[in-house]
Amino acid sequence: MRRDRWEPAAFRTRVDEVLRRFVAQEADRFAAIDPLLSPVAEQLEAAVADGKRLRAAFCYWGWRAVGQPDSDALVRAASSMELVHAAAVVHDDLIDDSPLRHGRPTAHVALRGAVRRRPRADAAARSLAMLVGDLLMALAGQLFATSGLPAAYLSRARPLWSVMARELIAGECLEILRTGDGPDTTASLKVIRYKTAKYTVEQPLLIGGALAGAGGRLREGYSAYGLPLGEAFQLRDDLLGLFGDPERTGKANADDVRGQRPTALLAETWRLADDGDRERLRALLGRRRLDADALHAVREVMHRLRAPQRIEDMIRVRVEEALDALQDVDVPAHAAAALTSLAQSAAVRLF
C-alpha cells in the first residue's frame, strides 16, 4: 500500500488483519474460562468478519489530514472504530429482531442453538447476544488503548469516546421511542444523525484528528463534512434496506417496513401521500405479518409518489454539502482526494 495514495482494498486488508488477530485472541481467552462459552466466543469473531471498514478509514484520514504519517499503531487505533460498529450492529439487530446480516444469521438467531434445550430459549439467546454486543464495545476501548500510539496522543482523544457512546445510544433510544409514531421527516433525520451519522463519519474523523492534534478550525471542518455525509450514508442504507437485493445486501429487506421504523423514506412517503394512499399504508403497515404481496404494495405506493427519488435528492444535497465543506479546510492534497473518494463510497453504494 502506497502510504500517500488511497487504496481502499489494501487498507481493508490491514484493518481485517488487525481485527482478526485481536478478536481471535480475545475470543480464545473468553472461551478458555469455560467450554460452554464457545458459541458466544464464535459470535465475537463472526461480528467482525465482514465490513467495508469505512469508520476505520475516516479515523485514519482524520489523522493523516493533519499531516501525520501512516503507522501500524494508527491503523490499530482506527480499527477500534470497527469494533464500536460491530457492537452497535449486534445490539441493533437484537432490537429490530433482524434475522440476517451479511447473509448469515444474526447473533441472537445464531445463539439459539446454544440454548435450545433451556427454558425460554429465545429470550436466553437474545440475552447472550446483548452481552456479545457489550463485550465488543469493551474490546473496542481495549484495542484503542493498546494500539501503540503515545499515551499523550490517546489522552487527547479519549474524551470523544464518551461523546460517541452517548450519541450512539441516544440515537438507538430515539428510534425505539419514535417507532410507531406518526411519520415525521424532521424527527427521522434526528434519529439518523444520532444513531448512525455521527459514529459513522464525524466521530471517527474527530477522534483521528484529536490523536494527531488537529486544531479547532480543522475539527469544525471535519464536522461540517462528516455530519451531512453520515446522514447521506444512512439515507442510502434505508433505500437499500427496502429496495436492495437481499442477495447483495445480506439483509432481510422487509425489516424497516415490518417494524414501522421511523425512516425518512417512510416519512417522506407519508408526507407526499393523499388520504387514499395513507389509508392504504395504514392497512399494510398494520399487518402482524407483512408478506411479499404486501411488501410489493408498499413499494408500489412509494414509487408512485416518487418518495425514493426524494431520498435520492436528499442524499445528493448532503454529499454536495460535505464536499463543499472539504474544500474549505486546509488539508494535504492526498488527504482531500481520499476523503472525496470516501464520500462517494459512503453515499453511492451499489449493494
Position 351 confidence tier, pLDDT thresholds 50, 70, 90? very low
Region 78-94: mean pLDDT is: 97
Tens of pLDDT, residue by residue over 12-41, are 999 999 999 999 999 999 999 999 999 999
C-alpha cell of 330? 486546509
Domain membership of residue 3 (yes or no) is no
Q: Average the pLDDT over each of 18-22, 63-67, 185-189, 256-260 and give the range with the smallest value.
A: 256-260
Computed over every residue of the chain, the mean pLDDT equals 92
User: What are the tens digits of pLDDT across the range 137-155?
Assistant: 999 999 999 999 999 999 9
Q: What is the pLDDT of residue 251?
A: 63
The stretch 226-234 carries a mean pLDDT of: 97
Task: Give the chain's domain count.
Answer: 1
Q: Residue 315: pLDDT band by 50, 70, 90 thresholds?
A: very high
On whether residue 296 sits in a domain, the answer given is yes
Q: Please list, in sequence order, all residues whose beta carbon lies within 8 angstroms of the beta carbon of residue 132, skipping any fewer than 6 positions away.
A: 40, 43, 44, 47, 90, 107, 111
Number of neighbouring beta carbons within 10 Å of residue 109: 20
340 located within any domain: yes
Burial class of 21 by CB neighbour count within 10 A (0 to 12, 13 to 18, 19+): exposed
Mean of pLDDT values over 283-294: 77
2 domain-assigned: no
The pTM (predicted TM-score) of the whole model is: 0.92
Is residue 85 in a domain?
yes
Query: What confidence score (pLDDT) does residue 250 get?
Result: 62
- The pLDDT score that the predictor gives to residue 69 is 95
Asked whether residue 292 is domain-assigned, the answer is: yes
The residues that bridge with 105 in the sheet, in sequence order, are: 100
In a domain, 69, yes or no: yes
Q: What is the mean pLDDT of residues 8-12?
A: 96
Say if 220 falls within a structural domain: yes
The predicted pLDDT at position 259 comes to 66
Range of the domain at 296: 8-347
Q: What is the CATH number of the domain that holds 232?
A: 1.10.600.10
